[in-house]
Amino acid sequence: AGDTPLIAVSDLAANYGHVAALKPTSLYVAPGEFVTILGPNGAGKTTLLRAITRLIASSGRIAFNGRDVTGLRTHDLAKLGIIMVQEGRGLFGEMTVQENLSLGAYSLGGSSADVERRYAKVFELFPRLRERADQIAASMSGGEQQMLAVGRALMADPKLLILDEPSLGLAPRVAAEILSTLGNLNKAGLGILLVEQKAPLALKLAQRVYILSSGYVRAELQTHEIKSHHDLARYYFH
């Protein structure tokens, strides 16, 4: 049905030892939607993304395109198209740009023609990566490394792209460039779930926002409902 979310998580929860970092949380991303998660430091945003992608153990249910995928492992979720760009980028620093990109496509299937098409798309979005295809990843600027991290995720042919603070540590202009590329990918139909500290930038792109604080969703808002940062701030602390 047209109403089936791209992803829907229900009562997702995760602990670190005795610390309930993520209390039972439910959220969804509709097909083609751009959703942002905001919240203060330590709110559980990274934990939430890692719970969705099963990088950490979590309880609760996850449905993808209406199919129950609870219990699938990270790699199987990736095969279905749930791809995450982790905070800190997770690149292979000693490998080249090209090698990092090829690892994004590795083991997720697709014919070599598919893979070639994905390279072409990534290089079209980030011409810098083409120019620097043979450069060692660790020697690139922070912005270039983040482009590479997004490019590598795109090589996996995501249906839902999940990103954890891609603007972290980047100059404002570079952060804006990367986020606007995400906006373009979304306009082309890609579902996006973004954790971002730079709320004004994220709110320009997202259709909907969840505010996470102390490990649970304090509010769910349409971005057009948010007129000023005061509308957000009152949910941040309590």
Interaction site with ligand ATP (CB under 6 A) = 16, 19, 21, 39, 41-47
- Distance in Å, CB of 160 to ligand ATP, minimum: 19
Q: Which is nearer to ligand ATP, 11 or 114 (CB)?
A: 11
* Amino acid sitting at position 117: R
- Distance in Å, CB of 14 to ligand ATP, minimum: 9
**HEC sequence for the chain:** CCCCCCEEEEEEEEEECCEEEEEEEEEEECCCCEEEEECCCCCCHHHHHHHHCCCCCCEEEEEECCEECCCCCHHHHHHHCEEEECCCCCCCCCCEHHHHHHHHHCCCCCCHHHHHHHHHHHHHHCHHHHHCCCCEHHHCCHHHHHHHHHHHHHHCCCCEEEEECCCCCCCHHHHHHHHHHHHHHHHCCCEEEEECCCHHHHHHHCCEEEEEECCEEEEEEEHHHCCCHHHHHHHHCC
Q: Which is nearer to ligand ATP, 149 or 154 (CB)?
A: 149
- Distance in Å, CB of 114 to ligand ATP, minimum: 34
Q: Which is nearer to ligand ATP, 49 or 91 (CB)?
A: 49
- Distance in Å, CB of 180 to ligand ATP, minimum: 22
Q: Which is nearer to ligand ATP, 23 or 79 (CB)?
A: 23
- Distance in Å, CB of 230 to ligand ATP, minimum: 21
- Distance in Å, CB of 203 to ligand ATP, minimum: 17
Q: Which is nearer to ligand ATP, 41 or 111 (CB)?
A: 41
Q: Which is nearer to ligand ATP, 55 or 136 (CB)?
A: 55
